[in-house]
Amino acid sequence: MGEEKKLGIVVVGASGDLAQKKVIPALFALFCQGYLPPDFHLYGMARSDFDSEGFRRKIAENLTCRYTPGEASCADRTEAFLSRCHYCQGQYSSSDSFLDLFQLMREQEGDGPVNRIFYMAIPPTVFLDVARALGDSGLVACGDRDEWSRIVIEKPFGRDRETSDILIREMQKVFSEDMTYRIDHYLGKEIVQNLMVLRFANLIFEPLWSRAYIRSIHIRWAEPVGVGQRTGYFNGFGIIRDVMQNHLLQIMSLLAMDRPVKFDAREIRDAKVQLLKAIRPLSLDDLVVGQYGASESGRQSSYVAEPMVPSDSLVPTYAAALLKINNSRWDGVPFFIEAGKALEERINEVRIRFHEVPGHLWGDQQARVEANELVIRIQPDEAITLKIMNKVPGLDLKLARTDLNLRYQSAFNALIPEAYECLLLDVIQGDRNLFIRADELAAAWDVFTPVLHQMEAGKIAPELYPYGSRGPEAARQLARRYGFFGSDLP
Ligand code: BG6
């Protein structure tokens, strides 16, 4: 349960999509389950012109009582939650605006110590302005009283290693590393959290978890929709910075890191940093970039036809990268990671392919032995499947690869929490295990920064692929070059 001290949660950028669709509904879910202290208040701050009543009406549009079935209790809880929500209109870089906010907070909270969380649901271009204005307004508790302040920021953290370092340095003038929670919401996803349990709480996987038994690993991320309303942001970043350098690299580091000495934030993040440092910086030869064109039916338009995208934009909406890890566990094992928008389906999964069984006990085609594969589907429809060889029932000898299947929906009779619920609860409880440490961020940027600079300097043109397709053909060629073949081909 949450701490009993007063808690003020400030959502900066409260009228935007992230705040309205993810952050505030997640806080409501925590509220419904009793995880927020009785004396908590939520303060929205943004440039939009609302009063607190208007803000509550806007919030109410996105609240669902998934944890409180039954109409009456849902209405009561919604009402109780909304009565704790307040709004302050202001400018992000103005310390006067934050003084107004402070005033509003004092009116609600009275005197005495209050713990504070500042959630930055704002574009990365204004992170620093807000942090400085917060610092100047004196709102940030510096730890010398019996209260704490924590800041939550969302990726992208910078555009490359250098800008990320600057952001870290400047932010630390106001919020120390201990006060900073860098969110990668994929780390809050249930099955991503299960990766460590799967690997380290089962005896059967760890002995096989190396180049000796694993032939390749494929991490695939696909969305069936284009960039939509977010072109302004996306065109400044592209898919490598939007998804690969963070979500996919985090999944890869949890999959490939060594066992941490202990299950605590410091040790886990040490193990991840060690792994990230062992990944060779990606080379241009091992990267394919693509951009979606119009769909074959002509119904969906191309990326460059989206609003605010320049017609000569080279920003990739798809990337496939072949990453290599230079350590004794993984040397020679290709990690093929792939992310794309406007593809044929929505999927995020990991396929771990084992080597083929050496020798041929059954020589003929009917009894062909295929390699084992462990498939971890992160979304949709979370599942873990182990593909193993079996004899097909019958009088003749026929072998087939079949599934040992764990589907979350049927195996666990429980609601799967939203990633943001879990991460926000961790911020409240001060658990930093699922947040990105500064040195981890630096190591993640080191994998991609050189190639991003080469791409941008060389004006590398992405290969066009039709909206709703499998993505660029060059990605299959890259995979073939590293030994993926037949049905194994990503
Ligand atoms: C965000 C990216 O971090 O994750 C988006 O910026 C992407 O481009 C989104 O669509 C996907 O999140 P989820 O949780 O829907 O898989």
Residue 167: partners with Cβ closer than 8 Å, 6 or more residues away: 127, 128, 157, 158
Going from N- to C-terminal start, the domains of the chain cover 6-154, 187-417+437-488
pLDDT band, residue 70 (cuts 50/70/90): low
Name the band, by pLDDT with cuts 50, 70 and 90, for residue 415.
Answer: confident
Expressed in angstroms and rounded, the spacing between residue 243 Cα and the centre of ligand 1 is 7
Expressed in angstroms and rounded, the spacing between residue 187 Cα and the centre of ligand 1 is 12
pTM of the shown model: 0.95
270 lines ligand 1 (CB under 6 A): no
Candidate from 16-25, 237-246, 259-268, 364-373 with smallest mean pLDDT = 364-373
Distance CA 110, CA 98 (A): 17
Q: Report CA(486)–ligand 1 centroid distance (Å).
A: 30
pLDDT at 274 over 60: yes
Using most ligand atoms within 8 A of CB, pick from 242, 251, 345 the residue to mutate for ligand 1. Answer: 242
The answer, yes or no, to whether any atom of ligand 1 lies below 6 A from the CB of 223, is: yes
Higher pLDDT, 111 or 210: 210
Cα of 71 from ligand 1 centre, angstroms: 31
pLDDT band at 1 (very low <50, low <70, confident <90, very high): very low
Active centre residues (catalytic): 247
The minimum-distance atom of ligand 1 relative to the CA of 230 is 8
Contacts of 480 (CB under 8 A, 6+ apart): 489
* pLDDT above 70 for 266: yes
CA of 371 to the centre of ligand 1 (A): 32
Which residues make Cβ contacts (< 8 Å) with residue 127, sequence separation at least 6?
120, 153, 167, 171
d(CA 229, ligand 1 centre) in Å? 13
> Ligand 1: which of 183, 185, 231, 377 to mutate, judged by most atoms within 8 Å of the beta carbon?
185
Nearest CA to ligand 1 atom 8: 242
Q: Give 289's pLDDT tier (boundaries 50, 70, 90).
A: very high
Largest distance between two CA atoms of the chain: 83
Half-sphere exposure of residue 458, counting CA atoms within 13 Å on the CB side?
A: 10
Long-range CB contact pairs, 100-108, < 8 A, 24+: 101/10, 101/43, 101/45, 101/137, 101/139, 102/137, 102/138, 102/139, 104/43, 105/8, 105/41, 105/43, 108/8, 108/41
| Matching CATH number, 187-417+437-488, of 3.30.1330.40, 2.40.170.20, 3.30.360.10, 1.20.1740.10 | 3.30.360.10
Q: Enter the tokens of residue 224.
A: 């069936």
Q: CA torsion angle for 147, 151, 152, 157 (degrees, to 10)?
A: -160
**Average per-residue pLDDT for the chain:** 93
- CA dihedral over 476, 242, 161, 273, signed as positive or negative: negative
Residue 3 class from Cβ within 10 Å (0-12 exposed, 13-18 middle, 19+ buried)? middle
Mean pLDDT of 71-99: 90
Q: What would the pLDDT profile of 156-174 be if each residue is shown by its tens digit?
A: 899 999 999 999 999 999 9
**Cα 415 from chain centre:** 20
Query: Which has the minimum average pLDDT: 68-82, 92-106, 182-196?
Result: 68-82
Closest Cα to residue 105, out of 52, 171, 34? 52
- Please tell me the distance from the alpha carbon of residue 74 to that of residue 65, in angstroms, as a whole number: 6
Query: Residues 239-249: what's their mean pLDDT?
Result: 97
Q: State the closest ligand 1 atom to the C-alpha of 348, by its place in the atom list counted from 1.
A: 16
160 lines ligand 1 (CB under 6 A): no
Atom 4 in ligand 1: residue holding the nearest Cα = 243
Query: Does the pLDDT value for residue 145 go beyond 70?
Result: no
pLDDT at 73: 83
Q: Helix crossing, 24-32 with 419-429: angle to 10°?
A: 70
DSSP at 264: S
Comparing CA positions, the residue from 353, 400, 356 lying closest to residue 375 is 353
Verify whether ligand 1 is closer than 6 Å to residue 242 (CB atom). Answer: yes
Q: How many CB atoms lie under 10 A from the CB of residue 488?
A: 16
pLDDT tens digit sequence for 85-96: 999 999 998 989
Find out whether 408 and 382 touch, Cβ atoms under 8 Å.
Answer: yes
Asked if the 6-154 domain carries CATH number 3.40.50.720, the reply is yes
